[in-house]
Structure 1
Amino acid sequence: MSTITEPTPASVASGPGPEDGVLKPSTDKGYTMEQQGVSNLTFGGGEYKLLRPKFADKMEERKHTLEHMAGAFRIFGRRGYGEGQAGHISVRDPVDPHTFWINPLGLHFSQICASDMVHVDSEGNLLSDGNQAAINAAGFKIHSELHKARPDVNAACHTHSTYGKAWAAFGKELDMLNQDSCIFYKNHSVYDDFGGIVFEAEEGKRLAAALGSNKAVILQNHGLLTVGETIDEAGYLFTLLEKTCEVQLQVEMATRMGLEKKLIPDDVAYYTYYNTADPETLYAEFQVDYNLELKLTKGEFLQ
């Protein structure tokens, strides 16, 4: 039997990350943490094409961001995350970081193109370089407060997806059941004070406070919300969180039939988190679905 060493108290309290230092070998496997990044996934010396781009021109970065934002909506539409007019994604503008882009109200995720995005300031005023369309009032209240509270967050995703709504009814964090769930290890929280549809700025502020420094929050009796440095990171985290909720629900049903679930130990979950949950790697993970969407739609959403 190997000896398990818990992660440091600081890493557990504030969420794991590279600033927490090196995780010492804690099992007879002798695993240690290396440098974070997508290079951990690649092998064999061949060309790898899914690296996060760097931009010298902010207008080019804006174009790329809006195209990938539209791609995220198309992926969400293909996966069935739509629910009437509910659901929204916002992205901080690379040119003017005090403003952000958000989807228009009443357009199905599967129809959204880059040119449909609405550009708003922190007070909700529509800016002239974006689509002059109405936006979701609740969406603005949520996203404006998130962007104010988290300068490190450039994108946020929220929809009323099926399994997210189902798991949110329990008001519980996820168990570390598998490798994929470890991406949320000590990096997601629960907002357990649902106050109805978010029409008030104070509700948006409470939601942002519940997110804290995490990358995801389960909104009790509501749904899921994820954030990231890029829309690609936030988008991939949302699709992964929805799938993780689905698996968790299936596992909970199996336990009712007498099966015992086995949880991943903290040190192994932390090791897995560290090597798979950095912004560069999560950007790359999103590209698989994004490139599929390009092919399926022949790039229609880039318009």
Structure 2
Amino acid sequence: MSLADLRPVPHDQLVFRTPPVFEDVADERRHRKERLAAALRLFGRFGFEEGVAGHITARDPEHPDHFWVNPFGMSFKHIRVSDLILVNHDGEVVDGRYHVNRAAFAIHSMIHKARPDVVAAAHSHSVYGKALSALGTPLEPLTQDACAFYEDHAVFDDYTGVVLDVEEGRRIAEALGSAKAVILRNHGLLTVGGSVDSAAFWFITMERSCQAQLAAKAAGPTVPITHENAKLTHEQIGSDFAGWVNFQPLLDQILRTDPDLVE
């Protein structure tokens, strides 16, 4: 084949992935659980584990006041679909064999209650998220990637110990408001999304943006992106769909290397 033989491929013949649409609730539940297991495996791969701390939840499509979550005390790196547990609005495990992390229920139940638009929420004690949270300051628009969170995240500026009470979870949900993320002072990061994919990607890229901010400020004076350009960039890369799209390459990687996660 010569260059002269090459012609543009018609646009409607090019492959572009978009979020799936489901007619059957069982299929949608299975899809969310597979994405949840994959996101947890990725968190393990990226080193976001800290003992038994950390959790990602996915709202059940049939019972919106119930959510699927990783079991208490199980490594992110080992999670399979069959390990996930379903927790109701009272914190009771109604499907699964393991205990629920009390902090997971206290925080995530209130997030899901306050935000009907949220399908998934992610929280862990990642190193750079913890480091930035200790400063009690927001993420600054220092890089293009950080602009996904420009005027779209909050700081919960009140550390009172391990979150075991739903009232504390309610206060975190209140601080989150309508944003996609909240920095929990002296604690870590929490992100949400309209899909497991977007919630997980927002956490991953926010953690990396925290790392970039800490490194840049340690090196010397920084040059922030202007308000106008930060807002424009947020419009370009900060939508829930953008988060979903950016998660797909990571999903492909983990499904290829860890096919057992769907068991």
* Distance in 2 (alpha carbons) for counterparts of 1:57 and 1:281: 25
- Alignment correspondent of 1:58: 25
Q: Specify which of 145, 157, 178 is matched with residue 192 of structure 1.
A: 157
TM-score, length of structure 2 as denominator length: 0.94
- Alignment correspondent of 1:213: 178
The worse-fitting range, judged by mean Cα deviation, of 207-216 and 275-284 is: 275-284
Report % sequence identity.
Answer: 43
Q: Secondary structure at the match of 1:217?
A: strand
| Structure 2 residue 8 is the aligned partner of structure 1 residue 47 | no
| Structure 2 residue 142 is the aligned partner of structure 1 residue 181 | no
Letter paired with 1:72: A
Letter paired with 2:168: E
* Distance in 1 (alpha carbons) for counterparts of 2:26 and 2:247: 22
Deviations 1:203-256 (A, max 9, x none): 11111111111000000000000000101000000000000000010011012x
Q: Which has the higher helix share?
A: 2
- Alignment correspondent of 1:111: 78
Q: Specify which of 238, 241, 248 is matched with residue 280 of structure 1.
A: 241
Q: CA deviation at 1:44?
A: 8.2
Deviations 1:43-70 (A, max 9, x none): 9836234311111111101101000000
| Structure 2 residue 254 is the aligned partner of structure 1 residue 301 | no
Q: Specify which of 211, 215, 224 is matched with residue 263 of structure 1.
A: 224
Q: Secondary structure at the match of 1:240?
A: helix
Q: Secondary structure at the match of 1:110?
A: helix
TM-score, length of structure 1 as denominator length: 0.82
Deviations 1:179-217 (A, max 9, x none): 100100100010011110011121111111111110000
Q: Specify which of 121, 128, 135 is matched with residue 100 of structure 2.
A: 135
Letter paired with 1:90: T
Q: Secondary structure at the match of 1:174?
A: coil
* Distance in 2 (alpha carbons) for counterparts of 1:47 and 1:78: 32
* Distance in 2 (alpha carbons) for counterparts of 1:145 and 1:216: 14
Q: CA deviation at 1:296?
A: 1.2
* Distance in 2 (alpha carbons) for counterparts of 1:53 and 1:279: 14
Segments of 5+ residues of structure 1 without an aligned counterpart are 1-42
* Distance in 1 (alpha carbons) for counterparts of 2:76 and 2:14: 33
Q: Which runs of 4+ in 1 moved over 4 A?
A: none
Segments of 5+ residues of structure 2 without an aligned counterpart are 1-8
Change (3 A) 1:44 1:262: farther
Letter paired with 1:85: V
Query: Is the contact between residue 93 and residue 100 of structure 2 (CA under 8 Å) also seen in structure 1?
Result: no
* Distance in 2 (alpha carbons) for counterparts of 1:100 and 1:139: 11
Q: Secondary structure at the match of 2:93?
A: coil
Aligned residues between the structures: 254
Deviations 1:116-170 (A, max 9, x none): 111011101211xx21210111111000111111111110000000111011000
- Alignment correspondent of 1:226: 191
Q: CA deviation at 1:295?
A: 1.1
Deviations 1:63-99 (A, max 9, x none): 0100000000010000000010000111100111121
Q: CA deviation at 1:113?
A: 0.6
Q: CA RMSD in A?
A: 1.3
* Distance in 2 (alpha carbons) for counterparts of 1:196 and 1:111: 28
- Alignment correspondent of 2:3: none
Query: Is the contact between residue 87 and residue 100 of structure 2 (CA under 8 Å) also seen in structure 1?
Result: no
Letter paired with 1:126: V
